[in-house]
Amino acid sequence: MNTLIACPSCKTVPEQELENCAICGYPFSGNNEEKSKFIARQILNKGKIADAESSIKSARLILFIIAGFNIIASFFQFTNVENGFILIVLSNLIGLIFLFFAFIIKKKPFIFTLIPLVLLIMIYTADAIIEPNTLIQGFIWKVIFLSGLVYSLIKIKEKEKIKKTDQMN
């Protein structure tokens, strides 16, 4: 009588002898090289998923920083400016929008990172058109924010691709 062994990859015990694990696709009937490649790919994918989760946290932090900056700094920047009240309200509204996305980013990470990224690009562009000097002001922070959000989008897309591939197997 054959005893069934647990899958080395996902640790499930199959109900019957199989060529490949029904859960993760581990090649029970494969040679050592095929089995090793499968395990290596699984480890690599887990690392990519962990990177994506980390980048979602980073994107969330970036959104919190942008929100906080818009809300807090607006009171210092626009109190002595003509139409200051309108600018304070607008800056706070923008801050609240980014704060909203920071809180919901985990529900749909790609779309809730993409929307703030596009909004941020639009804000930076509008600022540069209205007051060209603002393009240079805080340039390093702008680059950090934009590149952080773009990097997060790339990692989130990789994660989605891995999950999609895993579902197909």
Per-residue pLDDT of the chain (169 residues; tens, 9 = 90+): 456 778 887 888 877 777 888 778 788 888 889 888 888 888 898 899 999 999 999 999 999 999 999 999 887 776 676 777 888 888 899 999 999 999 999 999 999 999 999 999 999 999 899 888 888 888 999 999 999 999 999 999 999 988 887 666 5
Provide the b/e sequence for 58-78 (b: ≥16 CB within 10 Å): ebbebbebbbebbbeebeeeb
pLDDT at 42: 86
Identify the residue whose tokens are 């002001």.
137
pLDDT at 84: 72
Tell me the C-alpha distance between 77 and 88, whole Å.
8
- Token representation of residue 156: 């989130």
- Token representation of residue 91: 């800056």
**What does the domain layout of the chain look like in residue ranges?**
55-168
pLDDT at 169: 57
